[in-house]
C-alpha cells in the first residue's frame, strides 16, 4: 500500500493505492478526502495514470464537493455548534473559566458536549487546543466502546486478534494487518451510530480470514451484518460526520 499525491487540474489530491492479485479492474473511491484506488498488481503506474487522466473531471468534481463538505463541518468551537456523538447530534456548550485548565464533558441526557476553557483571544490557537482535547476525549470513548464490542464479535466470529490501536484518522474508519493480527480503528468511531461501529469491527475482523475484498470476504461480513452494504453506503455518504 502506497500513499502519495496526484495533480488533478489545480489540486494536489492524496491517494492510497492497493494492489491485488485477483482483480482485473480498477476501482477509485474517496474515503474522506483521500482517493483510494484498488488495482491489479500487474497494472503499471503509467497505465494507472492514464486511467486517472481519463477520469479527471469526475475525480476533480468529487474532490471539490468533499472539500466543501469538510469546510462546512469543521468545528470552530462556539456554543450552538453541533457535533455527532453515537450517531446523534449534540450541541456544543462553551464556558470560559478563570482556571488554567480545559475540561471536556458529555451530557447524554441533554445531548450536550460541554467544554470549559480559559479565554484565548487567538482563534487559531483556541481551535487547535480544543481540537486536541476533544480528539483525546473521543479516543477515550472509542476505546471504551471497542473494548466492549470487539471481544464480543471476536468470540462470535471465532476470530482472534493480537493488538488493537485507536488513532486520529479520517481517511479510514479501520484497518487490519492479517499477518500480525493487528487492528486499527479511528478515534472518531464513537461519533457514529453503534450499529455502524459494529459493522466496521466485523469488517476488520473478517480481514483476518480474507485479506482482500473478495466475494468470500463480503459473504463472511454479511453472515454477521446482513445489511452491511446498506451500512457501507451510509458510511461513505456520511464521512463528514467525523469532521472536527
Domain ranges for the chain, please list them. Answer: 2-73, 82-134, 142-242
Tell me how far apart the alpha carbons of residues 62 and 16 are, in angstroms, rounded to a whole number. Answer: 16
pLDDT at 197: 97
Q: Which residues pair with 163 in a beta bridge?
A: 182
pLDDT for position 59:
93
Question: What is the grid cell recorded at 145?
Answer: 466502546
CATH superfamily label, 142-242: Metalloproteases ("zincins"), catalytic domain (3.30.2010.10)
Please name the residue that has the C-alpha cell 447530534: 89
pLDDT along the chain (244 residues), means of 10: 80 89 87 87 91 93 81 81 94 92 94 94 90 95 96 97 91 89 95 97 96 93 97 88 78
Q: Name the DSSP letter for residue 208.
A: T
Question: How far from the centroid of its chain's Cα atoms is residue 5's Cα?
Answer: 19
Is this structure's pTM higher than 0.85? no
Backbone φ and ψ for 138, nearest 5 degrees, come out as -65, -40
State CA 128 to chain mean position distance: 20
Question: In this predicted structure, what is the pLDDT of residue 70?
Answer: 66
CA–CA distances in Å: residue 135 to residues 9, 102, 140 = 33, 13, 9
Amino acid at each position: 500500500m502506497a500513499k502519495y499525491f496526484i495533480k488533478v487540474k489545480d489540486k494536489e489530491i492524496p491517494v492510497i493505492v492497493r494492489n491485488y492479485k485477483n482483480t482485473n479492474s480498477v476501482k477509485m473511491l474517496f474515503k474522506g478526502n483521500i482517493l483510494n484506488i484498488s488495482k491489479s498488481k500487474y497494472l503499471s503506474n503509467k497505465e494507472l495514470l492514464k486511467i486517472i487522466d481519463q477520469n479527471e473531471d469526475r475525480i476533480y468534481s468529487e474532490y471539490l464537493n468533499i472539500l466543501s463538505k469538510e469546510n462546512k463541518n469543521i468545528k470552530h468551537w462556539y456554543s450552538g455548534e453541533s457535533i455527532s456523538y453515537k450517531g446523534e447530534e449534540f450541541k456544543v456548550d462553551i464556558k470560559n473559566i478563570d482556571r488554567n485548565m480545559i475540561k471536556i464533558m458529555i451530557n447524554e441526557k441533554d445531548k450536550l458536549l460541554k467544554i470549559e476553557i480559559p479565554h484565548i483571544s487567538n482563534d487559531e490557537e483556541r481551535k487547535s487546543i480544543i481540537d486536541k482535547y476533544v480528539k483525546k476525549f473521543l479516543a477515550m470513548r472509542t476505546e471504551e466502546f471497542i473494548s466492549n464490542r470487539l471481544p464480543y464479535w471476536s468470540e462470535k466470529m471465532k476470530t482472534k486478534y493480537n493488538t488493537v490501536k485507536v488513532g486520529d484518522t479520517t481517511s479510514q474508519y479501520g484497518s487490519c494487518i492479517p499477518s500480525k493480527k493487528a487492528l486499527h480503528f479511528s478515534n472518531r468511531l464513537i461519533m457514529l451510530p453503534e450499529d455502524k461501529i459494529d459493522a466496521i469491527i466485523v469488517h476488520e475482523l473478517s480481514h483476518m480470514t480474507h485479506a482482500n475484498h473478495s466475494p468470500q470476504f463480503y459473504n463472511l461480513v454479511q453472515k454477521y451484518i446482513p445489511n452491511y452494504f446498506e451500512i457501507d453506503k451510509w458510511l461513505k455518504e456520511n464521512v463528514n460526520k467525523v469532521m472536527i
